[in-house]
Amino acid sequence: MSRSYVTIPAITLRDDERKPRYTGRKLVLINRASNSSQVISHARKHSLRLAAVSDFSKAKTGDYLNEAFRQADGIYFDRLKVAVINESAEPLLKPALSSGKQKQPHFLFTEQERYVYAIASRRRASADYTDNAAASWGIHAMNILGSPLKGKNIPVAVLDTGADTTHPDLHPRIRRKKTFVSGQQVTDLNGHGSHCAGLAAGNQHATRGFRYGVAPLASLLIGKVLNNQGEGTDANILAGIEWALDNKCRVVSLSLGSETYEGETWSRIYESVAAECLKQNCLIIAAAGNESARAEKLISPVAHPANCPSIMAVGALTANLGIAEFSCGGINPDGGQIDIAAPGVNIWSAWKNKGYRRESGTSAATPMVAGLAALLLEAEPTLTAPALWMKLVQTAKRLNLPATDVGAGLAFIRS
Amino acid sequence: MKFVAVVSDKTQITAIAGKLKMLGCKVEQVLKRTGVITGDSLHIPLETLQIGGIASIAPEQVRKAQ
């Protein structure tokens, strides 16, 4: 009997990952009530040559399946009641299936045979975050592109070394600016503040369309509280926080602080200020600090003011979602815990003089969480500051790392 | 010595700042929303400035970019 073959696409590629999904062969579910001889006889009636796997499986080599496929149109696994039909014999399969008018159909239904792949461990799977043409690795890790939210018009204060207010990625987003540093303009001659502002609410790269700002439609309030050497006093910082409240900011990002020591408690002054901010519907998010040297088994306690209970402390993560070498930890028993973590190593953002640069630090992780807070506020504008805090923690992606290092886990937005 | 203080009742902050001035301090900022007063104690020990209405007072410190 002559056979007519049709061309069937043997491989279907998945869009998301370039691994073939289907082999081109068909799986057939066989009626459990049918015995082997009935099945093989039924197949033969439709010119399908089925080989029972039991006839081949005693072979000493592991190649018996290929041998069975070479000798027949398909293999029948009699214990499993499943047959696998070669792609070339598929045209014969349909009549074998449709001849189901008999009381006891032998072939029940078919589906495509799939390729299967080893499932990488979760840690391993998440190790693959890299910058690509669409966005920075941090944006990918936090699933920012999975959300349509852009933090539209949510006022976010970045209190730092100022910002490059002429930077094409920042300029359109800056609603207000103010310097609290005597003798220095708000213009950032350090770069640190521009980097932070870019991560919170920088528009995507002006010419390349590369997204690195978490909330690119948020309204930025740039307060220069650190001088161009990256240093500032409490008076400057507290004045900046007051200014943020005056301007009804919903989020304040503080990528600054000072080292604390084991057993040291938090500042009552900053705690009072932060609690007042929460009451006035403003969440302060601060960098946990970079004083650890984890390779040397040295973990430093969360820095001031992030160690205040009413300030959200942010740890830094690597691109494989491990804790960053330098990221401080929640080791002081009386407060000073890490609340959440975010990408903080090799993070691409805006820089001074209309530039761009990669930087590492809890400084980078902090404005990314601030940007995420703006996205959540866009979705639910009536969220109070304490509820916003809860939402950030609740939606965080749990990591297989100690909570003393990463708190609730990776700051993350659910699609 | 430069100091930072926080008051226990924000509605009284102006009056408390006035008391600090009367004690000989230089008051630099009165932040009404957050209840913070910053200034310079000059030569007065900070313990002396722990007057009624001041919840906490501490020397001002330098903070750095992280």
- Kindly write down the DSSP assignment for every residue of A231-279, as one continuous string: EEEHHHHHHHHHHHHHTT-SEEEE-EEB---TT----HHHHHHHHHHHH
Amino acid residing at A220: L
CB contact under 8 A, B6 and A255: no
Q: Return d(Cα A377, Cα A250) in angstroms, integer.
A: 8
pLDDT tens-digit readout, A55-67 = 766 555 556 667 7
Is there a contact between A192 and B65 if contact means CB atoms under 8 Å apart?
A: yes
Predicted ipTM beyond 0.90:
no
Residue A118 pLDDT: 42
In a domain, A8, yes or no: no
Q: Buried b vs exposed e over A169-187: b needs ≥16 C-beta within 10 Å?
A: bbeebbbbbbbbbeebebb
Q: What is the CA radius of gyration of chain B?
A: 11
**Is A160 among the catalytic positions?**
yes
Give the residue from A114, A148, A175 where a domain finishes. A114
> What value, to the nearest 5°, has the Cα angle with vertex A65 and ends A59 and A66?
110
Q: Does B6 touch chain A (CB under 8 A)?
A: yes
Q: Which ranges in A50-172 belong to alpha helices (H)?
A: 64-71, 90-98, 122-125, 137-141
Those residues with Cβ within 8 angstroms of residue A368's Cβ, 6 or more apart along the chain or in another chain: A138, A142, A199, A200, A214, A342, A343, A347, A411
The pLDDT value recorded for residue A15 is 40
Are A18 and A25 a contacting pair, CB within 8 Å? no
Q: What are the residue ranges in chain A where pLDDT is below 70?
A: 1-22, 56-65, 99-103, 114-127, 206
In a domain, B15, yes or no: yes
Domain count across chain B: 1
Give the per-residue pLDDT at A25. 82
B63 domain-assigned:
no
The token duo for A84 is 């696998």
Cα distances (Å, whole numbers) of residue B24 to A246, B15, B60: 29, 15, 18
Given the residues A192, A195, A205, A304, the one annotated as active site: A192
Only one residue has tokens 């792949």, namely: A117
> Residues of A at the B interface (Cβ-Cβ below 8 Å)?
160-161, 190, 192-193, 226, 230-235, 237-239, 241-242, 245-246, 255-258, 267-269, 272-273, 276-277, 280, 287, 289-290, 303-305, 361-363, 366
CATH number of the domain enclosing A260: 3.40.50.200
Top residue of A188, A229, A238, A349 to mutate, by most chain B CBs within 10 Å, is: A238
Contact B36 A238 (CB under 8 A): yes
Q: Does residue A135 lie within any of the structural domains?
A: yes
Do A256 and A306 have their domain in common? yes
Contact A131, A348 (CB under 8 A): yes
* Beta bridge partner(s), residue A157: A221, A252
The H-assigned helical ranges of A106-183 are 122-125, 137-141
Sign of CA dihedral A195, A201, A204, A210: positive
Do A256 and A276 fall into the same domain? yes
- Tokens of residue A88, six digits: 């070339």
Domain region containing B21: 2-56
Q: Are residues A96 and A169 in the same domain?
A: no
Residues A81 and A229 in one domain: no
* DSSP label of A339: -
A7 within some domain:
no
Contact (CB, 8 A) for A151 and A374: yes
Q: Give the relative orientation of helices A385-395 and A268-279 as an angle to the nearest 10 degrees.
A: 100
CA A276-A279-A285 angle, to 5 degrees, is 70
Report the number of distinct structural domains present in chain A.
2
Indicate if A186 and A328 belong to the same structural domain.
Answer: yes
Neighbours of A76 (CB within 10 A): 25
Instruction: Answer whether residue A412 is part of any domain.
Output: no
Domain membership of residue A16 (yes or no) is no
Contact call for residues A236 and A268 (beta carbons, < 8 A):
no
Please state, rounded to an integer, the average pLDDT across all residues of chain B.
95
d(CA A99, CA A193): 74
Whether residues A100 and A242 fall in one domain: no
Q: Which amino acid is at B11?
A: T
In a shared domain, residues A105 and A210: no
Residues A278 and A391 in one domain: yes
Verify whether the Cβ–Cβ distance B31 to A362 is below 8 Å. no
**How many C-beta neighbours within 10 Å does residue A113 have?**
15
A283-287 and A251-254 as β-strands: parallel, antiparallel, unpaired?
parallel
DSSP class of residue A31 equals P
Indicate whether B17 belongs to any domain: yes
Cβ contact A216:A203 at 8 Å: yes
Q: How far is CA B60 from the centre of its chain?
A: 10
- My answer on whether A333 and A300 are in the same domain is yes
Tell me which residue range forms the domain holding A179.
124-406
Q: Give residue A127's pLDDT.
A: 55
In a domain, A10, yes or no: no
**Which residue among B4, B32, B55 places its CB closest to the CB of A235?**
B4
Please answer yes or no on whether B63 and A233 come within 8 Å at the CB atom: yes
Residue type, A256: L
Q: Judge if A82 and A188 occupy the same domain.
A: no
Instruction: Specify whether A209 is located in the same domain as A77.
Output: no
Q: Does residue A274 sit in the same domain as residue A152? A: yes
Q: How far is it, in rounded angstroms, from Cα A200 to Cα A217? A: 10
Last residue of a domain, one of A63, A95, A114: A114
How far is A333 from A339, CA to CA, in rounded Å?
Answer: 14
Please indicate, yes or no, if residue B61 is contained in any of the structural domains.
no
With respect to residue B32, please indicate whether it lies within any of the assigned structural domains: yes
The shortest CB-CB distance from A257 to any of B6, B33, B63 is to B63
Catalytically annotated residue among A253, A267, A300, A363: A363
Among A46, A81, A114, which residue terminates a domain? Answer: A114
